[in-house]
Amino acid sequence: MELAVPPPTRVAVGVRLRTPLVVTFIGSSTARDHRQGDPGACALPDLSGIWVYLSLIAPDMEESLAPPRENLFCGKRADSVHPVYHEQGFDRPTIAYAVFPDLVIKEPGSYRVKVSIIDMNGAFSAVTAEVHSKVFHVVEASDHSDNEPKVDETIDRLRSIGINC
């Protein structure tokens, strides 16, 4: 799992992020080999009941800020995992993803996004993996910048395999 499209290093307070955050799940080269034959033979893992949840945390990763503060980090913060069916020419293809559009942070400061993978199958839900973004800064609207060129390249690659971001 990776945060393929992370938050930019600087974002404007109270303004929707220019691009959605995108979490991707990478398969092995054997998954790609299965895809080169009959598309029906592709053995994707069972993704039902797998969810991705975003929270806003302090830069030192010691404190969760949202939650508990629901008015600090707004927008769609939970998504089910969606399979990718498009053919890919990579050794480690993207097999699934989750997209988080319309995110807004309501107060200036320095933050990280924590991405939690939650397995909702079974009697109890369980966090199975976590990843953290790099520290980013939320600043007054006139001080923020656009995405870095690498992010634009990543977005183009994700769109080429059918991920709407």
pLDDT at 78: 96
Q: Can you read off the two tokens belonging to residue 81?
A: 């995992």
pLDDT reported for residue 32: 42
Instruction: Tell the CATH topology of 2-160.
Output: Immunoglobulin-like (2.60.40)
Tell me the per-residue pLDDT of 114-142, one tens digit each, with 9 for 90 and over: 999 998 887 778 888 999 999 999 998 76
Between CA 23 and CA 67 the distance in angstroms is 19
Percent of the chain residues past pLDDT 90, beyond the cut: 51
Phi, psi of 62 (to 5 degrees): -90, -15
Q: Does 80 score more than 70 pLDDT?
A: yes
Q: Distance between CA atoms of 47 and 36, rounded to whole angstroms?
A: 21
| Residue 19 neighbours by CB under 8 Å, 6+ apart | 5, 147, 151, 155, 165
What is the model's pLDDT at position 135? 97
Residue with tokens 């933050």: 111
Q: What residues does each domain of the chain span?
A: 2-160
Q: What is the pTM of this model?
A: 0.80
- Over residues 139-151, the pLDDT tens digits come to 987 666 555 667 7
